[in-house]
């Protein structure tokens, strides 16, 4: 009898290289301690944590997939596209991510100006110690600063009051084009996956257009089980995966032991009939 080992898969999480609070090594250790055996670190627009993540993962007996979460603008909204199985040394990918990150510092100054107008001065200086990677100041870092400064009780409240996409301090960005992000991922040997589709505020028609365009561009996967989805949404996006013939992915989107709704390795398995996005990459 051929018994397959039970897999615990987590292919979406963040370290201090983007807006997580743990170093890549510490995220790897936490993933392994939580029983994860197929893992990917997917920092926002940045691959500089990949080498140490892979080395630590391998030394702890996990199978590792190179990962990144690319910020994309599609129909005037931000969509996140995860690249799995990428070669992080691919020069076109590295350069594409560098251009995607450019502009974050200026945007941070504009967010700080907005917060000052709302009665919270000095946020740009305040946020800098929270952003361990100076090229990657994110809204999450502002949220942590505003909690520490006593303006809000927790990170979620900051987003709800000020920093969500509709919030009064938010500054929209023109991120990468969908076609560019997919070409970088594919050029680096990876599989592209639409991250947490349940978080986007598109109309049903727009969702259909997004999925079709993504597929036409060679996009293969969609996150079904993610820390950003409710159990109802697991079923909803499992059906989308079936309808469009997408591979299915899963990941906690872990950022911090105290902030994240779901810890590493804590999510249920994918529905058994779906084709896992990592199958062809191991
Ligand atoms: P940025 O790339 O700077 O726009 O920041 C995006 C990050 O902010 C996401 O990856 C999440 O970690 C966090 N974020 C965005 N929207 C929300 C929200 N409504 N609630 C909590 N966190 C959020
Ligand atoms: Mn994030
Ligand atoms: Mn995301
Ligand atoms: Mn994420």
pLDDT digits (tens, 9 = 90+) for 166-210: 999 999 999 999 999 999 999 999 999 999 999 999 999 999 999
DSSP E strands, the chain: 9-10, 38-39, 63-64, 67-74, 77-84, 191-194, 221-226, 247-251
Q: Is the CB of 44 under 6 A from ligand 1?
A: yes
Cα–Cα dist 145/229, whole Å: 26
Over residues 96-116, the mean pLDDT reads 97
**What is the pTM assigned to this prediction?**
0.97
Question: Among 102, 133, 139, which residue has the most ligand 1 atoms within 8 Å of its CB, making it the best to mutate?
Answer: 139
Q: Is the CB of 159 under 6 A from ligand 1?
A: yes
**CA angle, residues 173, 211, 103, in degrees to nearest 5:** 15
State phi, psi for 23 to the nearest 5 degrees: -65, 160
Q: Is the CB of 88 under 6 A from ligand 1?
A: no
Instruction: Give the pLDDT of residue 277.
Output: 98
* Domains of the chain, earliest start first: 9-101+174-281 (3.20.20.140), 104-163 (1.10.150.650)
Answer whether residue 3 shows pLDDT above 70.
Answer: no
**How many A from CA of 253 to the centre of ligand 1?**
11
Q: Is the CB of 140 under 6 A from ligand 1?
A: yes
Cα–Cα dist 215/209, whole Å: 10
Q: Which residues lie across from 222 on neighbouring strands?
A: 194, 248
Q: Is the CB of 42 under 6 A from ligand 1?
A: no
For residue 260, what pLDDT band results from cuts at 50, 70 and 90? confident
Question: Among 106, 163, 166, which residue has the most ligand 1 atoms within 8 Å of its CB, making it the best to mutate?
Answer: 163
**Lookup result for tokens 């060679």:** 218
Q: Do the beta carbons of residue 45 and residue 275 sit within 8 Å?
A: no
């Amino acid at each position: 009898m051929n018994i397959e080992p039970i897999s615990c898969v987590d292919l979406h999480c963040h370290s201090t290289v983007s807006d997580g609070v743990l170093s890549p090594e510490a995220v790897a250790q936490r993933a392994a301690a939580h029983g994860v055996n197929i893992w990917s670190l997917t920092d926002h627009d940045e691959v500089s944590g990949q080498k140490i993540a892979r080395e630590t993962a391998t030394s702890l007996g996990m199978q590792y997939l190179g990962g990144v979460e690319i910020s994309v603008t599609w129909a005037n909204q931000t969509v996140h596209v995860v690249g799995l199985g990428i070669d992080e040394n691919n020069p076109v990918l590295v350069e594409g991510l560098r251009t995607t990150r450019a502009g974050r510092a200026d945007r941070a100054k504009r967010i700080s100006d907005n917060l000052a107008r709302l009665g919270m001065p000095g946020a740009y200086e305040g946020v800098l110690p929270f952003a361990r990677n100076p090229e990657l100041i994110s809204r999450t870092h502002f949220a942590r600063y505003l909690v520490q400064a006593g303006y809000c009780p927790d990170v979620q409240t900051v987003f709800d009051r000020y920093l969500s996409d509709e919030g009064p301090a938010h500054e929209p960005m023109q991120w990468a084009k969908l076609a560019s992000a997919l070409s970088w991922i594919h050029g680096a040997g990876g599989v592209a996956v639409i991250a947490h589709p349940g978080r986007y505020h598109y109309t049903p028609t727009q969702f259909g257009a997004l999925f079709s365009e993504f597929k036409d561009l060679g996009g293969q996967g969609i996150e079904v089980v993610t820390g950003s989805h409710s159990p109802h949404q697991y079923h909803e996006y499992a059906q989308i995966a079936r309808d469009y013939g997408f591979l299915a992915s899963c990941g906690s989107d872990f950022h911090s032991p105290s902030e994240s709704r779901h810890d590493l390795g804590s999510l249920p398995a994918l529905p058994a009939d779906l084709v896992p996005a990592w199958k062809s990459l191991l």
